[in-house]
Structure 1
Amino acid sequence: MHPPKRRKPPRFQIYKDIGNKPYAITAGLSFVFLLAVWSLLSYTEAVNPVFLPQPQRVLMELIRQLGSAEYWNHIGISVFRVSAGFALACLIGIPIGILAGTFKFGEALVEPPMEFIRYMPAVAFIPLIMVWAGIGEWAKILLIFIGCFFQLVLMVADNTRRVSQDLLHASFTLGAGRWKAIETVIIPAIQPQLMNTMRLILGWAWTYLVVAELVAVSSGLGFAIMKAQRFLNTEQIFVGIIVIGLLGLISDRIFAFLNRRLFPWA
């Protein structure tokens, strides 16, 4: 008689849910591990403190900066630039993506140039952006827009193509026309995945922030980081990076919360 097989722990089963509490503990431990590695390298001075400051020095600098109205101004203008560039990309890119994913003509018209342009680094557009939009706020917003737009169009087109053909055939059977099917079947069907796509694109928008704030700026988190780099103030560099990461994480969690609330069936 064979002994009973040992069951694998749920955390090592493919796609198996491990529950909210173990998930939260594991996520917390991953941050603790990163902090432990950072502390080990900095406190033992395995890395020169000029290049890797100690965690408590970065924490003290973070508290000092957040107590400054000037730093909150940097945060506010950076949030505005990211939000504006992201919103503009969604406003223009989502309808174009739906067009490309719905009609073969739209796919042929839209996707080849999008596939071509998306491999061009956004930073390479800076000289053109300065010619087109000058060095004002529009230049920063436009760079973030360029970094998000082309990827967004292709991802929305892919989401649209994944809509079940059975749903479309059922709508046609019930008398829906082309545009009615798009309105009542395709757009509602892609909404949960579209929210996830927008969540990913917003993450990319935050990664383009520092690049966008290289263009003749005197405010913003990217400006604060570059200013600190000129004076080799590593604590302020770490603070800027951490604040951008926290803002990105907050925006990501907002999208995840909205997705769960608006589309619980997904």
Structure 2
Amino acid sequence: MKRRPHFQIFKPLPPLAFFGFTTASFVILLALWSLLSYMEWVNPVFLPTPLAVLTHLFEQLGTQAYWGDIGISILRVSAGFTLACVIGIPLGILAGTFKAGEAFIEPPMEFIRYMPAVAFIPLIMVWAGIGEWAKILLIFIGCFFQLVLMVADLTRQVSKDLLQASFTLGAGRWKAVETVLIPAIRPGLMNTLRLILGWAWTYLVVAELVAASSGLGYDIMKAQRFLNTEQIFVGIIVIGLLGLISDRIFAFLNKRLFPWT
């Protein structure tokens, strides 16, 4: 039986074919959306047409206030994500490298990561008030515990032979961590951070529920009160585009910094 060349397990696609499949997926989604909205099979109040959403998007991008909302949302996501990385990566390396660190760090992380970040909103408002720190902390909580566990698991995958070779050459424990273990995990760490940054964007709308008066999530929630579905779609699309751009930046850096992967 003749095999289909584009559906062989793990076989890479030619760039043109990959682009074709990617384009087809978006065309199918747009066609389905157009069919449901233009034929009014779904009430236009609940599902506006693509043209109405596109028109509203350009109207919003033409205002300074909307660019301000985009900027403050990027700042909140970046701050929460960066704080999670600064604290979480060292803890993950510690938990993955030493069994004592694993025993001390991982059990509470495993326990807390199953708690929904939304449940922390009342506590965050008590601890940090209703200012910017409250929103940053919620994004931090949504990213931190998962990041620690993923970095720990990534650290444990480093070849023991590499570490033994460094010990044979005279390296001590911390020198082996610095010169062998950390460089070995950097390509995988970049992919992990891509995933965590994606989660940070998903927590944005929840974070901006905390007494916010600006931001993309606030715009979405405000539009929901008045059934302004065009604005809701615009907010969702802009958040998706910002997340995609940040993901592509990480992918580009990973390819440039670690081309052997």
TM-score class normalised by the smaller sequence:
over 0.9
Q: Counterpart of 1:66?
A: 61
Distance 2:206 2:194 in 1: 20
Q: Counterpart of 2:244?
A: 249
Q: Is 1:45 aligned to 2:46, yes or no? A: no
Deviations 1:49-82, CA, capped at 9 Å, x for gaps: 0000000000000000000100000000000000
| TM-aligned CA deviation for residue 28 of structure 1 | 1.1
Q: Is 1:138 aligned to 2:169, yes or no? A: no
Q: Counterpart of 2:202?
A: 207
| TM-aligned CA deviation for residue 19 of structure 1 | 1.7
| TM-aligned CA deviation for residue 9 of structure 1 | 3.0
SS for the counterpart of 2:69 is: helix
2:175 to 170, 177, 180: 180
Q: Is 1:120 aligned to 2:125, yes or no? A: no
Gap regions ≥5 residues in structure 2: none
Give the TM-score, by structure 1 length. Answer: 0.97
Deviations 1:183-208, CA, capped at 9 Å, x for gaps: 01100000000000000000000000
Give the TM-score, by structure 2 length. Answer: 0.99
SS for the counterpart of 1:175 is: coil
Distance 2:172 2:241 in 1: 46
Distance 1:147 1:174 in 2: 41
Partner letter of residue 7 of structure 2? F
Once the two structures are superposed, the pairs formed by residues 83-94 of structure 1 within 5 Å of their partners are: 83-94=78-89
Q: Is 1:231 aligned to 2:226, yes or no? A: yes
Once the two structures are superposed, the pairs formed by residues 188-199 of structure 1 within 5 Å of their partners are: 188-199=183-194
Q: Contact (CA 8 Å) 1:78, 1:209: kept in 2 or not?
A: yes
Q: Counterpart of 1:147?
A: 142
| TM-aligned CA deviation for residue 20 of structure 1 | 1.5
Q: Contact (CA 8 Å) 1:42, 1:54: kept in 2 or not?
A: yes
Q: Counterpart of 1:96?
A: 91
Q: Is 1:222 aligned to 2:201, yes or no? A: no
Distance 2:208 2:84 in 1: 18
| TM-aligned CA deviation for residue 24 of structure 1 | 1.2
Gap regions ≥5 residues in structure 1: none
Q: Is 1:54 aligned to 2:81, yes or no? A: no
| TM-aligned CA deviation for residue 170 of structure 1 | 0.8
Q: Contact (CA 8 Å) 1:98, 1:160: kept in 2 or not?
A: yes
SS for the counterpart of 1:219 is: coil
Q: What root-mean-square deviation, in Å, do the aligned CA atoms of Structure 1 and Structure 2 show?
A: 0.7
Partner letter of residue 38 of structure 1? W
Q: Percent identity?
A: 78
Distance 2:226 2:125 in 1: 27
| TM-aligned CA deviation for residue 143 of structure 1 | 0.2
Distance 1:20 1:256 in 2: 16
Q: Is 1:262 aligned to 2:260, yes or no? A: no
| TM-aligned CA deviation for residue 10 of structure 1 | 3.0
Distance 1:24 1:251 in 2: 20
Distance 2:31 2:167 in 1: 59
SS for the counterpart of 1:119 is: coil
Dislocated runs of 4+, deviation >2 Å: none
Deviations 1:32-54, CA, capped at 9 Å, x for gaps: 11001100110111111000000
